[in-house]
Amino acid sequence: MAGRRRVSGSSVVALCLLLVALVACGGRTGADPVRAEVQRVLDRRAAAVLAHDATAYARTGTATGFGNLGAIPLAEWSYRVNQVDRAGDTATARVELRYRVEGYDRGAVATGRTVRLSRDGTAGRWSVDSDRPAKESGQQPWDQGAVEVVRGEHSLVLGVGQSTAALRSFAGLADRAVPAVSDAWDGDWARRVVVVVPRSLEGMAGLLGSPASSYRGIAAVTTGETGGREHAPADRVVVNPDAYGLLGDLGKQVVLTHETTHVATRSDTTSATPLWLSEGYADWVGYRGTGRAPTQSAPELTRGVSEGRTPGRLPADEDFGFTADADELARAYESGWLACRMIAAQWGEDRLNALYRAVGAHDERAGAVEDAMGEVLGTTPQEFTRRWREYLRTELG
């Protein structure tokens, strides 16, 4: 018949063999029974955490650390097993833990864990021997000890190794920071903040998964992913109690307000946002309404301007590195703050907010500031820099 080609017997045999090979390769599920068993153990363990059931938790293996997280109000806690390496009656699982703090997190925090298990030779059941942060992940507060929780009007403070009175003072600072940020920032945000206060600088570094030397002298850091609301489900303000304790009352409040601003603006902060704008804006909100003169809040920049060393450009992202020289880091923050202060003074606070959103809405860093300045401020980066340098000389000279 037209359009058909006869297939020989040998071709049919070859085709059948090909089909058999395809079925043999693709038809098997390849399910790992050990991985499935480990997942079931961890599912029971997660259910016990949410139910605050110490007995059920202990049935899944070691109960070490269970009491450390009992005070945390959890809305979600689950494990996903990604890989299991078995050696006889022992196994090591690479696991993703997802948890959400009730009333504070838009979405779950995801963190890597390394879970070691052993199997009872008689019953053949797997149980957990240890559950620790994965090598590439930071610790969680309960990894460092029993977590005490203090609730404020707009805040939740999670502390390890701190007095109740100290945690209450942080809640008070955060409760004042939230309305201050809401008064300045007109964007949509949760209007609440989670503050984590570890025992020491080393504890802060452990939570952030970095060397302590990276944060020496840094009073607090806000964790979170940039790139829109869906990527910012659960910010945390992590405090360095060693550096924070050296601040005066005003300094402590400015720091908490600064960090809370990062929480509020997170969904509008993207890879297109330069650090001079994100850090400068947070400082602008932090100092807003304090009555502090620029010469008081920008001592390093004031010194440079008075000596005829007015910066020739706005600070680059690398100028904000925590490992940078302390004086250079201070000048970078002061420069960003005064740039945002100038915008608020000369164009208005609404335009400052609009500029922040317009820059973050850009698809990429290249051209983001230039386009936003033209659209919102009616100027160019070159003209803006000229005006900013003149502003520095006027305010600090």
Q: What is the CATH number of the domain that holds 147?
A: 3.30.2010.30
Domain-terminating residue out of 76, 106, 137: 137
Instruction: Quote the radius of gyration of the chain (alpha carbons, Å).
Output: 27
With respect to residue 14, please indicate whether it lies within any of the assigned structural domains.
Answer: no
Cβ atoms 242, 201 nearer than 8 A: yes
User: Do 280 and 229 have their domain in common?
Assistant: no
User: Do 175 and 202 have their domain in common?
Assistant: yes
User: Do 237 and 162 have their domain in common?
Assistant: yes
User: Do 331 and 285 have their domain in common?
Assistant: yes
CATH code, 89 = 3.10.450.50
With respect to residue 15, please indicate whether it lies within any of the assigned structural domains.
Answer: no
With respect to residue 63, please indicate whether it lies within any of the assigned structural domains.
Answer: yes
Q: Can you give the length of the chain in residues? A: 397
Q: How far is CA 305 from CA 331, 337, 371, 391, in A?
A: 11, 15, 29, 11
CA 255 to CA 282: how far, in whole Å? 9
User: Do 278 and 385 have their domain in common?
Assistant: yes
User: Do 160 and 233 have their domain in common?
Assistant: yes
User: Do 292 and 349 have their domain in common?
Assistant: yes
CA 128 to CA 135: how far, in whole Å? 18
Residues of the chain below pLDDT 50: 1-29
Residue 293, CB-side half-sphere exposure with 13 Å CA sphere: 8
Q: What pTM was estimated for this model as a whole?
A: 0.88
With respect to residue 9, please indicate whether it lies within any of the assigned structural domains.
Answer: no
CA 315 to CA 277: how far, in whole Å? 10
CA 320 to CA 315: how far, in whole Å? 8
pLDDT for the residue 104: 94
Domain-terminating residue out of 109, 137, 165: 137
Backbone angles phi, psi at 357, to 5 degrees: -65, -40
With respect to residue 238, please indicate whether it lies within any of the assigned structural domains.
Answer: yes
Domain range for 324 is 270-397
With respect to residue 26, please indicate whether it lies within any of the assigned structural domains.
Answer: no
User: Do 381 and 291 have their domain in common?
Assistant: yes
User: Do 93 and 143 have their domain in common?
Assistant: no
Domain-terminating residue out of 229, 249, 267: 267
With respect to residue 331, please indicate whether it lies within any of the assigned structural domains.
Answer: yes
For 213-218, which contacts have Cβ atoms below 8 Å and span 24 or more sequence positions? Answer: 213/323, 214/322, 214/323, 215/240, 215/243, 215/322, 216/243, 217/243, 217/326, 218/243, 218/322
User: Do 186 and 300 have their domain in common?
Assistant: no
User: Do 208 and 281 have their domain in common?
Assistant: no
pLDDT for the residue 232: 56
In the chain, the number of structural domains is: 3
With respect to residue 184, please indicate whether it lies within any of the assigned structural domains.
Answer: yes
User: Do 263 and 142 have their domain in common?
Assistant: yes
